[in-house]
Amino acid sequence: MEEKILEKIKEYNMVDSYILAYFYNKVCVGIYKDGKILFNRSVNYKLLIQIRIFNKDKEIRFVLNEETGEFEFFVIDDNGENIGTFEEEMFISGNKIVRTNDNFTTIKQSGGEIDIPFKINEEDVKKGLRLVVKNYFGIDSNDQVIIEKARLVDIKR
């Protein structure tokens, strides 16, 4: 599966993108850099449920269809019809730096840890990190405004 993901990353020119991956046993945040997917922890792609590769321009997503056992592929960007968009920021839980290395900073809160794919300092942690999500509006069959789709955009300090 990793090779298929890397092919799509290259095909859609997802240079220097963030990655949010859901496995049966954990959730990992990583980065695509220099032609490689980098996570701070070891991962087993056989346990992958969903992976989202995103940057400011677009998101590509693989989602496991548990009925068929196959991954469905999606591209979400600003192309296509919508009646408007809005961005929201969701706080990433963590109030203490646990460890750092060349590519990641691990933060912790209440026992849970998350690896952030860049270096941060104590001031960044105090202010709070945020996951930026872009929502796309549409109209449903009852002429009600709804959020038709959403994509990840960035991780902000």
pLDDT value for 80: 82
Over residues 67-89, mean pLDDT: 93
Task: Please list the residues that pair with 72 across neighbouring strands.
Answer: 63
pTM recorded for the entire structure: 0.90
CB 30 within 8 A of CB 38: yes
Which residues make Cβ contacts (< 8 Å) with residue 15, sequence separation at least 6? 32, 55
pLDDT at 111 over 80: no
Per the prediction, the chain carries an average pLDDT of 94
DSSP assignment of 39-64, as one string? ESS---GGGEEEEEEE-SSEEEEEEE
- For tokens 């709804």, name the residue: 146
Across the chain, the runs of DSSP E, i.e. the strands, are: 17-23, 27-33, 36-39, 48-54, 58-65, 70-77, 84-92, 96-100, 105-109, 112-116, 129-139, 145-156
pLDDT value for 64: 98
Q: Which two tokens stand for residue 71?
A: 């991954």
